[in-house]
Structure 1
């Protein structure tokens, strides 16, 4: 305990200032006997309207409030899809264009004034309405571009009519591609085959049920009134500070069940412990937004958080050599080391006059920037070894990912000769390379102000300076920069993207032309690439599909709109009284499956 005591003493002033500043944002104390799980986000949410969000932080919250027809088995590895509000897995036509799902009767939305005192049952029409909202121009949904590529028959025409007439979207107009033959049946008809469409039905952000009464009651403020059928409901929200969910008292009778592999000892132990328990097992789930790593770490040590992702700066302290520190182990703290189904990447705005464009000299500039930056240095110095280099665009645990493939995304080769060859030389003698036409060459990298971001900036600055490229950093808040990125107003930005399904080809949409400004923030538009992605989307799993995925990645490696950096390894630390937590590669609703041992917690805190 000596090192903890020294660390806490050395930072006591910072912690006391933080505590004072956050006191006003603290939730009311939980009643004795209340099971509460507190979790830390390192970036702010953007909102709680499923039609208007796409970031992982907001999705993490919404996955506990809203429900899709399908979900993932909590313990099965590899991931398995299972019914949630659906009575069974969906049926589909032979050509994968017609998908039919039957919703279980007797599922209800959480009580809300919008329902005027009437208990509101979930129906197939609620899913149809939620899908229509993605097409409504009023909501400017980032999910719209995804659905447009599904070609749900009739919805694009309905959207265009609203745009042309400047009249409200007609939710009551019949739509050939969205039909509800009866109260509990939803039939979706697509304009082209999509063998993977079932996975969309397991994603709350793409297929979460929304009640029309709620949207019409709250209008633009529906963002602050998420009402779903899930195990929790929103109790408190202080933007970019604190989110409190409480157990939905009207949640249906649901019990713990899962299907871990026979050789999965941990999964089998969890199943034996919790099978048949009524869900959810906790009363409250709190998300605090703390962007700086030190307060997050100190708050966990002081037991203010039950679960955290270990900040990179403290990974060597928490898990030296990848193993839980003895001092933490003695306290009963639990460690889960996970290779995430994600990647961190940098992208270039293809519409930017400096780094964008498809001519040889613009491609050379992006490739030179990419080659000049050392992914392994990032992993070893900033990420403290918590990652593996991203050699492909696809991510671990997904269909199409092949760890043996290497498209050169993590290749390090300071390519001064490449810059010289295409005319990026210092023409005015100021020590920095200029554009071929003699104008100043300034790279503007958008970033955040936290300590970890500053370390990434230092690394970028160092490697760009080594090849004579002048890079300046533009700090800001993540949600604000995300909006700028969607508008195409950033030049270079770093992002992380986490898989929401086992279909790895979804990561190809990060550069898919029709989704520019949504999934495709680089605004990359290349017909040959787009044609490959369309063909991939219409194919079932097969070696032929994998071959097309390889072709698509080769094009990205040539044009370099995106530089993948790393597949991240995360260290999840949990307090000894938090029971049942296990990171799922795709599902986000962990609060449904965890429990708190109040007796153990009381003993530890006193």
Structure 2
């Protein structure tokens, strides 16, 4: 026993000494990496559901897919306002206006029947290594199987011993648009694009009628009238009418190429049962490829060895040069070899690892600055938000981005109480909008981060205006002394409510109190709900919450059975049309009996006419005049409580470079550069173990135990003496 006890104390003391002399980050949660590779460590909270580019429409999925897939166009990383530039395209697309007989029309024509967009691709763009592109000695696809038994030995992409690649061509883009038209793929753009791309709707009907069960259908068997292959690297898309904003869709992953071989490969018999599907295993030409997809643990992207030559931009905007965003101008991309994104269940855990230096940035996809972490990141100083002293000492980099977004409270314009277009109905909505103090909401629930909206167009887009002329005159007055809008008084709101037929919150004839209903999926006992009730109570209007689950809520929205509700929109592309279309009557949920974007069912003929005009016009005085009139119309009609525009803050550790965020595109990982040596130094400095309590405890135990051990040894040596 003595020997065992001694060994235990030796082990404890040795461990304590080792910890006290440890020079590495002993609590590093990240996996070991190859020191010859530059690895980025990131995180995600929301697990992706779809990785098929024709189906995915969420920002959480874009965090990964926008590094893998390449549409013809992309956004300039640094320039603001946002600017499109070629990605796989050799140059910006050529636009032609055509008459009904496909004869060219002048560029300024207003009566074109069609627009034709011609895209020329860069040569020498190759797909990532993938078994779908592997071929045998006869140049036939190696892994196309006729029955499930042939593929029994393959469960993961890594099980295939041979991979292949080939050059990107025009057929790949054409095939992807056909996949978008195929109802089997459930693309969220199928309705919108079928209205624009000539022949797309007919193709979808053919695919639906031709397919047998879920078997692979070779979409090359039929053409789409509006798609034309001109040569291996050139194709054109013909759309109905004039729609200049179509170019923005060409920068979205919906239009990223998918080779027909991949579609056939993933339809091998039995592959769907093993989740060997495109919706789980991407294949692209982008700078990175997905090598691990374990969304309950981690997702890993690695450099695509076949990625074409691509270079960091040589010009930017604003203070980009001052902030060091142009230091890598002209250098070949990407800068990192691997990105490991770890799944986190809570923002607090993600934040803790960022502060320890184990995550390079405070959040990927999400800014990760919320109510749980805001006070740990910022303090409010005389000049606004400032980093906390702790983060300031660590040289944390702060990037902010006012994303083209709008969060608002909508009125159902079909509702008999809050809907309608008569003057009394307008005044009712205006009265409610006045007392619904969005600035107070921002201060209380968003830590002051956000900007009160005056209309439907957010900052950063053409048509957005500031100052006195842009102020919503139905909700605000202009304060000349401060040069800012001032919300109209509660007394004025009461006056409007009385003129609407509800003096003191009661019907002027029946005397019944005005009770309004907010439809939501959240609990009605939350602090936010209490705050909203108090706002309306200022004018004696009662508010009740009708809480349902999300599927039921969506169904109520489609049927027009709501009264008030919270909603939001984040721009797909940086054009005012992307927000004005939210009020186009033809997109009304009830009117179109579809998943339209007009959640309020707003219907104003003059607005619709101007919307059609704005859609077809290039930026200029005529378009701006139409936009301004549309804003005036909806300010008066007040179908929304205008809410606020979002502002995001992102933090990066000091060893991360080129951290500028993009409010539209998430395909920015290729621009990121790291200093791994500095990261390791800081991780070691910030995570040194504090071992003196352990050493003190060991010493105390020694003082207590050693006397006991000595006494025990003495007793063991005692002998019984007997008389001779």
Relative to the length of structure 2, the TM-score reads 0.69
Q: Which residue of 1 aligns with 2:580?
A: 508
Please tell me the root mean square deviation across aligned C-alpha atoms, in Å: 3.9
1:210 and 2:210 correspond: no
Tell me, yes or no, if the aligned pair for 1:512 and 1:529 is still in contact at 8 Å: yes
Pair 1:263–1:581, CA change in 2 (3 A): closer
Q: Which residue of 1 aligns with 2:278?
A: 222
Q: Which residue of 2 aligns with 1:16?
A: none
Q: Which residue of 2 aligns with 1:105?
A: 123
| Matches of 2:349 and 2:541, distance apart in 1 | 37
Tell me, yes or no, if the aligned pair for 2:68 and 2:284 is still in contact at 8 Å: yes
Pick aligned residue for 1:318 from 373, 377, 382 = 377
1:82-481 equivalence runs, <5 A: 82-93=85-96, 94=107, 97-115=115-133, 116=143, 117-149=163-195, 151-159=196-204, 172-205=221-254, 207-218=255-266, 221-237=277-293, 244-261=299-316, 264-266=319-321, 269-273=324-328, 275-286=330-341, 288=343, 290=345, 293-308=347-362, 309-313=367-371, 314-320=373-379, 321-350=384-413, 366-404=429-467, 405-407=470-472, 411=476, 412=487, 414=490, 415-422=493-500, 441-447=515-521, 454-466=526-538, 467-472=540-545, 474=547
Q: Which residue of 1 aligns with 2:68?
A: 65
Q: Which residue of 2 aligns with 1:557?
A: 635
Cα deviation code 1:78-110 (max 9, x no counterpart): 333221101111111135811101112222233
| Matches of 2:602 and 2:56, distance apart in 1 | 22
Question: What secondary structure, in the 3-state scheme, does the structure 1 residue paired with 2:647 have?
Answer: strand
Tell me, yes or no, if the aligned pair for 2:523 and 2:547 is still in contact at 8 Å: no
Question: What secondary structure, in the 3-state scheme, does the structure 1 residue paired with 2:518 have?
Answer: strand
Tell me, yes or no, if the aligned pair for 2:399 and 2:659 is still in contact at 8 Å: no
Q: Which residue of 2 aligns with 1:22?
A: none
Question: What secondary structure, in the 3-state scheme, does the structure 2 residue paired with 1:335 have?
Answer: strand
Tell me, yes or no, if the aligned pair for 1:282 and 1:595 is still in contact at 8 Å: no
Pair 1:50–1:302, CA change in 2 (3 A): same
| Matches of 2:557 and 2:44, distance apart in 1 | 21
1:74 and 2:146 correspond: no
Tell me, yes or no, if the aligned pair for 1:399 and 1:504 is still in contact at 8 Å: yes
Q: State how many pairs are aligned.
A: 570
Q: Which residue of 1 aligns with 2:722?
A: none
Alpha-carbon shift at residue 545 of structure 1 (Å): 0.6
Alpha-carbon shift at residue 536 of structure 1 (Å): 0.9
Alpha-carbon shift at residue 600 of structure 1 (Å): 0.9
Alpha-carbon shift at residue 577 of structure 1 (Å): 1.9
Pair 1:201–1:432, CA change in 2 (3 A): same
1:51 and 2:54 correspond: yes
Cα deviation code 1:330-354 (max 9, x no counterpart): 1121112333332222334556677
| Matches of 1:433 and 1:166, distance apart in 2 | 59
Larger radius of gyration: 2
Q: Name stretches of at least 5 consecutive residues in structure 1 with no aligned partner.
A: 1-25
Question: What secondary structure, in the 3-state scheme, does the structure 2 residue paired with 1:82 have?
Answer: strand
Question: What secondary structure, in the 3-state scheme, does the structure 2 residue paired with 1:273 have?
Answer: coil
Q: Name stretches of at least 5 consecutive residues in structure 2 with no aligned partner.
A: 1-28, 97-106, 134-142, 144-162, 477-486, 589-594, 685-724
Pick aligned residue for 1:498 from 570, 573, 579 = 570
Relative to the length of structure 1, the TM-score reads 0.81
